[in-house]
């Protein structure tokens, strides 16, 4: 899977202690403007120094047969992201990480002193309770949830939102999120894109 991927794309990006970095993971199958809008919203509203756009080897909850090659998904993501503060990487493939909880544990160990935030769209929040060790994820990093079409109300009633309701940060204080100890999360409203990877994939 990684033989056609440049070695640089498989290395965990450099980060200096004190930096504020958002981790935005997904299969990006394919990457589209809706993904970019989520990354840009978090970058701006949380006053982040960087967003790591993490192209995963595959989502355990999704059909791998429909998954485009990793190198292709990396290239498409990079073509979409023009902001130098958004770094496309696939380091999870090199380190054999499939589950987010394991990835976060590794990142914190390898990049101490960095203030990391997990970024996801509201559609992911709705199914977050299906992720492996999801309460552990919520207690590992602050989480930024960015609104997506059709996802404003129902995700806020999702098991994660209910379980950690008292740890939700008011939206106007979003810039404080990277400096808060987890669990802490915020739901950001703003411009939304109707695009979805499922709709963009060719029918089989």
The string of pLDDT tens digits covering residues 113-167 is: 999 999 999 989 989 999 999 999 999 999 999 997 755 557 788 999 999 999 9
- What does residue 80 show for φ and ψ, rounded to 5 degrees? -85, -30
Tens of pLDDT along 42-80?
Answer: 999 999 999 999 999 887 766 667 799 999 999 999 999
Determine the longest span between alpha carbons in the chain, in angstroms. 47
**C-alpha angle 54-56-62 in degrees, rounded to nearest 5:** 135
**pTM to 2 decimals?**
0.90
10 Å CB burial of residue 196 (0-12, 13-18, 19+) is: middle
Q: Nearest Cα to 147, choosing from 139, 134, 156, 138?
A: 156
């Amino acid at each position: 899977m990684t033989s056609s991927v440049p070695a640089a794309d498989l290395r965990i990006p450099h980060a200096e202690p004190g930096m504020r970095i958002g981790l935005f993971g997904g299969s990006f199958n394919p990457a589209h403007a809706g993904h970019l809008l989520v990354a840009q919203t978090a970058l701006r509203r949380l006053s982040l120094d960087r967003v790591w756009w993490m192209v995963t080897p595959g989502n355990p909850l999704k059909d791998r047969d429909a998954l485009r090659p990793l190198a292709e998904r990396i290239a498409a993501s990079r073509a979409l992201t023009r902001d130098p503060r958004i770094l496309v990487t696939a380091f999870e493939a090199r380190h054999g990480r499939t589950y987010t909880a394991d990835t976060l544990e590794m990142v914190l160990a390898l990049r101490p002193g960095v203030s990391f935030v997990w970024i996801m769209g509201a559609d992911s929040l709705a199914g977050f309770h299906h992720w492996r060790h999801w309460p552990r994820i919520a207690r590992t990093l602050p989480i930024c949830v960015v609104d997506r079409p059709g996802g404003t109300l129902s995700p806020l009633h999702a098991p994660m939102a209910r379980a950690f309701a008292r740890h939700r940060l008011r939206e106007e204080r979003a810039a404080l999120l990277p400096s808060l100890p987890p669990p802490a999360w915020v739901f950001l409203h703003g411009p939304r894109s109707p695009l979805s990877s499922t709709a963009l994939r060719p029918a089989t």
